[in-house]
Structure 1
Amino acid sequence: MRRSSSSSFFKPLPLSFKTPRSTSPPPLPHSHTHIRHRPLLNHENRLPLITTLVVGLLFLLSLFSHPDSSISHKFQIPGLLPSKPHSTIHIADPMLSQRINATYSDYLHHCPNGASPICSDPSLTPSQKKRYTGLKKQGKFLLVTNTRQIQDHLPDLLNSIIVLIGYLGKDQLYFSILEGPSSDCTPQILNNVLLPLLTSLGVPSSQIEISTDEPKINWSSHNRIEKIAELRNRALQPLWLNAQWSREITAVVFFNDVYLSAGDILELVFQHKRNGAGITTGMDWWKKKPEYYYDIWVGRTIDSGDLFYPIDNPWWTPSSDLFPNSPPSRSKYQNLSPFQVFSSWNALAILSPEPFLPPYNVRFRRGDTAKGECAASECTLIAGDYWRAGFGRVMVVPSVQLAYERDVASDTISELSKQKTRLGWVDGVPPKKYDEKIDWIDKPPDKVRCHPWPEVNGLSANVWEETRWVDPYLRE
């Protein structure tokens, strides 16, 4: 599928789809009413005609310019009256404001055509600071990603990192980033802004692994799932190769190229720790108006092993009717309460590190079709391997919702804010009646729905041509 300015091969590919046809209003019917012709420039039509000519000239000028699509203004004439990202981010905390604005200035220095952060205030509320204070005593957390072409996402990522370090402390966070290849500012920002930022905030160099400018992949020579599994393992391998990392890290924060906030990351880690989960995720969206849930190929319900919304054709359909086959999940989702699933990824996953270490040595991988295993996403398979290793407590926290594209992220923030207000959230924290712990089911579904990746190389394939029901994981 096509993705603009985002690393499409690092996020799970849910399905093939047709671009929806655009619709236009029907043409106006011809009128047979007699119209009396008037001079072209009489006093009645001179001003409207001149106005039309001026507007048309401005439009032609705009065709030769490149507007910043990340800026939303009421009136923007590209090229003639160019818009620029906001240079100042207003935050109540003066020290946090100074750090964030200085970092943003560095970002714009290295990426003049970069974007404004989508989150206008990345700081934590007083209630959030109180809610997450226990995390400061619960070990250290690894932020890890494979990524490319994310220059417009980076202001929010940088802000999130600043807030997280300021709240948790410089010794609490580890970083592993594998980037490339990118044709935008991504590698420059990682090397010239993020790395100096981490150093200036006191993060020890022993807690940082950043590798940029990965070579371009010839996808016609690779099975998509196998190659992406390899890249995910390379980004994560300091966890099992570095004794300090293996010993100290208590949660892995593995994220795709979505717009992030510190509050969302902390909420997922908080729920993960509080519930003793093996994997904890949010929700991700392809579109929000109307709703198109993104990670449909990976997610499976705990009770039936079915998709989060079953589809009967190979094209995306609106997913406003999520969990029709799992009433308990549906109810929790509608109340933004955490609920258990068999598998999930949804662009941001908190993973317990133990399964990646001896004696389990779990890795992202391709399905073993020779043993009858489904050729599923590497993210579905990792959930199955967690179940097999005894860490099969997988949960979704629907109050954390993410998007890959800027306009979808804006819609998601807006719609989610309205929903939280209706449900009684205050200061970024849910009411007690919707803040219950998970009542775990320790047995996986008897069977899970399988839509195997065809035995072809390349980035795209139709995974919906075949439907099978298989064991939840390989039993040896």
Structure 2
Amino acid sequence: MNFFENERILPTFFQELPVLLQHLGPQKVYISIFENGSSDTTPILLNLMAELLDSIGTPHRIITLGTSDIPNKEEGYRIAFLARARNKALEPLYNGAAAREMRSRAFDEVMFMNDVAHCAVDMVEMIYQKRKQGAHQACAVDWGGWGGQVVYDRWVLRTMSGRPFYRWEDMVYYVRAPDPEDGKEKPFSQPLLYDDEDRARFLANLPLQVFSCWNGATVFNAAAFFPPHNIRFRTARNDPDESGSPRSATDKASESYLMSVDLWKAKMGKILLVPRASVSYWPWDYYAYRKDAPLSDTFNDADEMVEWKLEPPPLVAMQDFARWEEVERWGAWDEP
């Protein structure tokens, strides 16, 4: 995990992380957190979290740098910073320190959480579906941010047809349209208008395969980070400078999106979106849109299973530089 000025959301982690660890087994999980640049009480709270983890017997490494390490997130360097911060959090996995401390030969899974409101049951559902479906990566659904019941992750989330969840013109109209005078929420189009089967599954809270996702919380096969794959968080390599060489730092694509791309390149394209696992960067949106309804009496376990596609879409809609107000550019799925 990475944190930056998150004193308002960290109480959620103090409440829910012990519940999740008790379910998974507190001594079977290694927690790694990297924080830098925070000028609020985030470092103090993370030091208290270390004491909490000690009390329940969960091994951990928590690095708090506060204002001694101010990140450079100016234009062109934001994704390079985020990739470095995420790799720093996974350093105990990469160098074997976590396995040595736990006297374990290998880890099965790696879960990454952003600074999101959530409940332990959301993370359990995400992990459960990953294991049940045999996925290489599984993601929650992050709600809010745009206003109303809208999935937030516009930059990373792509369907198996290569499209974003919502049409570009619908997003632009929704954001720019005035709020109704009666105080009600602005109406918004249905998601996945180009993908009827996926839309039906999503609206029924059934898991579905996607090309890429992150959505605030995700879990991977740990094998992706070890030989022969050695996948790491990185920046895009398709933004050349004046000489034609790849820029050392660019914000053209999200490091989270590139993680899914690299999984496909490693023949690990079973990537799953789990609608019943909800998170949000805004607590009020989380409580408004989380999926609490019990399974219906007609629920059939077989209906939940995904029919995996083993080949990616030939083209994917790219939202270069996160410019959501601009029309997407279609490009090859394996752009570097």
1:308 equivalenced with 2:165 (yes/no) = yes
Alignment partners' CA distance in 1, 2:50 and 2:278: 28
2:283 maps to which of 406, 423, 444: 406
CA shift for structure 1 position 352: 1.1
- Aligned partner of 2:332 in structure 1 is 471
Q: Which amino acid aligns with 2:308?
A: W
CA shift for structure 1 position 261: 1.6
Q: Which amino acid aligns with 1:473?
A: D
- Aligned partner of 1:354 in structure 2 is 223
CA shift for structure 1 position 467: 3.0
- Aligned partner of 2:56 in structure 1 is 201
Go from structure 1 to structure 2 and tell me whether the alpha carbon gap of 1:196 and 1:363 turns closer, same or farther (over 3 Å shift). Answer: same
Go from structure 1 to structure 2 and tell me whether the alpha carbon gap of 1:381 and 1:343 turns closer, same or farther (over 3 Å shift). Answer: same
1:66-102 CA-partner distances (Å, limit 9, x unpaired):
xxxxxxxxxxxxxxxxxxxxxxxxxxxxxxxxxxxxx
- Aligned partner of 1:85 in structure 2 is none
CA shift for structure 1 position 350: 0.7
Go from structure 1 to structure 2 and tell me whether the alpha carbon gap of 1:392 and 1:374 turns closer, same or farther (over 3 Å shift). Answer: farther
Q: Which amino acid aligns with 2:296?
A: G
Q: TM-score with structure 2 length normalisation?
A: 0.84
Q: Could you tell me the percent identity over the aligned residues?
A: 32
Q: Which amino acid aligns with 2:311?
A: K
Alignment partners' CA distance in 2, 1:331 and 1:208: 41
- Aligned partner of 1:338 in structure 2 is 207
CA shift for structure 1 position 288: 8.2
- Aligned partner of 2:308 in structure 1 is 440
SS at match of 1:218: coil
Go from structure 1 to structure 2 and tell me whether the alpha carbon gap of 1:432 and 1:185 turns closer, same or farther (over 3 Å shift). Answer: farther
Larger radius of gyration: 1
Alignment partners' CA distance in 1, 2:170 and 2:77: 24
- Aligned partner of 2:178 in structure 1 is none
- Aligned partner of 1:212 in structure 2 is 64
Q: Which runs of 5+ in 2 are unaligned?
A: 176-186
Query: 1:451·1:464 contact (CA, 8 Å) conserved in 2?
Result: no
- Aligned partner of 1:61 in structure 2 is none
CA shift for structure 1 position 147: 1.2
CA RMSD, 1 decimal: 2.6
Query: 2:149·2:289 contact (CA, 8 Å) conserved in 1?
Result: no
Go from structure 1 to structure 2 and tell me whether the alpha carbon gap of 1:319 and 1:253 turns closer, same or farther (over 3 Å shift). Answer: farther
Alignment partners' CA distance in 1, 2:331 and 2:198: 22
Go from structure 1 to structure 2 and tell me whether the alpha carbon gap of 1:250 and 1:311 turns closer, same or farther (over 3 Å shift). Answer: same
Alignment partners' CA distance in 1, 2:38 and 2:98: 31
Alignment partners' CA distance in 1, 2:91 and 2:132: 26
- More divergent stretch after superposition (211-220 vs 380-389): 211-220
CA shift for structure 1 position 183: 2.7
Alignment partners' CA distance in 1, 2:98 and 2:271: 27
Go from structure 1 to structure 2 and tell me whether the alpha carbon gap of 1:327 and 1:374 turns closer, same or farther (over 3 Å shift). Answer: farther
SS at match of 2:323: coil
1:291 equivalenced with 2:149 (yes/no) = yes
- Aligned partner of 1:388 in structure 2 is 265
Alignment partners' CA distance in 1, 2:145 and 2:73: 27
1:129-151 CA-partner distances (Å, limit 9, x unpaired):
xxxxxxxxxxxxxxxx1112222
SS at match of 2:201: helix
Q: Which runs of 5+ in 1 are unaligned?
A: 1-144, 454-460
Q: Which amino acid aligns with 1:399?
A: R
Q: Which amino acid aligns with 1:213?
A: L
CA shift for structure 1 position 310: 2.0
Alignment partners' CA distance in 2, 1:280 and 1:291: 21
CA shift for structure 1 position 435: 5.6
2:36 maps to which of 160, 180, 183: 180
Q: TM-score with structure 1 length normalisation?
A: 0.60
SS at match of 2:169: coil
Q: Which amino acid aligns with 2:61?
A: E
Which structure has more relative contact order (CA 8 Å, sep 6+)? It is: 2
Go from structure 1 to structure 2 and tell me whether the alpha carbon gap of 1:340 and 1:160 turns closer, same or farther (over 3 Å shift). Answer: same
- Aligned partner of 1:259 in structure 2 is 117
- More divergent stretch after superposition (400-409 vs 318-327): 318-327
Go from structure 1 to structure 2 and tell me whether the alpha carbon gap of 1:236 and 1:321 turns closer, same or farther (over 3 Å shift). Answer: same
Query: 2:36·2:65 contact (CA, 8 Å) conserved in 1?
Result: yes
